[in-house]
Each structure stands twice: as structure tokens, then as C-alpha cells.
């Protein structure tokens, strides 16, 4: 896994985790331009690791939701990049994850964050974000396990973390119901969760989301009044073709 940050200087740190089938380089192309302004790049460092490859047995695939996914599932055991396994597609509010695999991915993320803290970055200035199964405090088209064992692993300190959640109502891979239920689940644990719904958005990243995300990060870092809020954004919306 490659997980080098772009700059070694102190300041805010954004760890972006891609969705299944994606890569760190692809995520960098979509997200980094929103933080490329000179007034931002000197204060916000970005890291885009790539998940290991694994065999995904795509059981229960909805073959109508994504032609690319159908092509992969024809092979029955598709080898793709993923932080943990996918038991079924589409992902619903009732989808069950392999808890051991999820916790293994969490351990990897904690290792990266521990290095940042050891290097002098304040924990309050670290943001774990991502697409689909890579979502953290900022979630794009993602979901969380809705079970008691997961809730019991959320520490009192973690409940203080604000969450920003984006989800398209036309998402055919991680259904809107899963995202909405996930946000409600976190709120029941005492977390503050801002949920932004997009009626026509599928399982993709678009400019409107990323602009809002950029401002959210800057506000959290106290940079809203710095004047460094304009970025060299992509000229068109960025469609992200993650599998989950």
C-alpha cells in the first residue's frame, strides 16, 4: 500500500480512501485539484493510499445496476482493490460485513494516523474521508455496519467527531436507504452527522459535493476567512466508477 503524504509540513491532514475497484492515483486526480490553491496547499496535506487487491465473490449481484460490475461478476471471483470484502451488491441497510476484515482495515488507517500524530499533527486537524467503503468523517456514497457490536467499538471520544455525509438518491450500488440509515445510526450514538442528499446523483463524485467538502475542511481548520477558498477545480463533474 502506498500512503505517502504530498507535503511533510505541519497543518491539516486529509487521508482519502477510495472505494472498491479504485486507486489512490485515481482519487488524487479527482480530489487534489480542490486543494491546489497556493493558500490551501501550504496548509492542507493530502494522502491517497491504494487498498490491496483481493478476490471478491460478488454474491447476490444486481446485474442491472452496473454493466462494468456485471462483467466482473461473470468471472465469479473478481480480483479488485478493496479495503474489505463485498458480500453483496447492491449494498442495503441490511447488508452484513465481515467484521474482522473491517477491523483490519481500521487498524491500517490507525497506523497511518498514529504516524501523523507522532510527527506533530494535531488529531483535531486530521480528516479520514473517502468514497463508498472508504468513507470516514466525510463519507461519499457510503454506509456503515448497523449492528450492536460495531456500536460498542465506537469510543466516547470518537462520538465527538463531526461527520459529513453525501449520498445520491439514484445510487444503484450503495442504496440511498443504506446511507440514510447509516447517518441516523451515528446520530443515535451521539455523533453529529450532516447529511446531504442529491436526488439525481448515482454512485459518483461530482463538483458540487467536492466544493462543499473543500469548504467543510477549511472551516474545520479555521481557514474560512483566509481568502484561500477558490481552487483550480476540474472543468466538469468527476464521475467515480467505484464498485462499492
Which of these is catalytic: 18, 167, 203, 240?
203
Residue 128 vs residues 12, 15, 60, 84: alpha-carbon distances, Å: 11, 5, 30, 16
Which of these is catalytic: 37, 43, 141, 171?
171
Residue 237 is a catalytic residue: no
From 44, 95, 35, 38, select the one nearest 244 (Cα to Cα). Answer: 95
Residue 207 is a catalytic residue: no
Cβ atoms < 10 Å from Cβ of 148: 8
Which single residue is written with the C-alpha cell 506533530?
Answer: 120
Cβ atoms < 10 Å from Cβ of 129: 22
Q: Where are the beta strands (DSSP E) in 124-162?
A: 126-131, 138-140
Residue 132 is a catalytic residue: yes
Active site residues: 132, 171, 203
Amino acid at each position: 500500500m502506498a500512503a505517502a503524504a504530498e507535503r511533510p509540513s505541519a497543518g491539516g491532514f486529509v487521508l482519502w480512501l477510495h472505494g472498491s475497484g479504485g486507486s489512490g492515483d485515481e482519487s488524487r486526480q479527482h480530489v487534489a485539484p480542490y486543494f491546489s490553491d497556493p493558500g490551501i496547499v501550504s496548509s492542507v496535506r493530502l494522502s491517497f493510499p491504494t487498498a490491496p487487491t483481493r478476490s471478491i465473490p460478488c454474491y447476490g449481484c444486481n446485474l442491472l445496476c452496473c454493466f462494468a460490475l456485471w462483467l466482473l461478476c461473470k468471472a465469479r471471483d473478481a480480483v479488485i482493490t478493496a479495503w474489505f470484502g463485498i458480500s453483496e451488491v447492491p449494498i442495503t441497510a441490511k447488508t452484513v460485513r465481515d467484521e474482522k476484515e473491517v477491523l483490519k482495515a481500521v487498524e491500517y488507517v490507525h497506523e497511518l494516523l498514529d504516524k501523523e500524530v507522532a510527527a506533530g499533527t494535531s488529531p483535531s486537524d486530521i480528516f479520514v474521508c473517502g468514497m463508498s467503503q472508504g468513507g470516514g468523517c466525510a463519507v461519499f456514497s457510503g454506509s456503515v455496519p448497523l449492528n450492536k457490536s460495531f456500536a460498542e467499538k465506537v469510543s466516547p471520544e470518537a462520538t465527538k467527531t463531526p461527520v459529513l455525509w453525501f449520498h445520491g438518491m439514484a445510487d444503484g450500488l450503495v442504496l440511498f436507504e443504506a446511507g440514510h440509515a447509516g447517518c441516523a445510526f451515528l446520530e443515535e450514538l451521539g455523533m453529529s452527522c450532516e447529511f446531504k442528499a442529491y436526488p439525481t446523483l448515482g454512485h459518483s463524485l461530482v463538483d458540487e459535493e467536492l466544493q462543499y467538502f473543500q469548504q467543510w475542511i477549511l472551516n474545520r481548520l479555521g481557514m474560512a476567512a483566509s481568502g484561500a477558498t477558490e481552487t483550480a477545480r476540474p472543468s466538469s463533474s468527476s464521475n467515480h466508477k467505484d464498485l462499492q
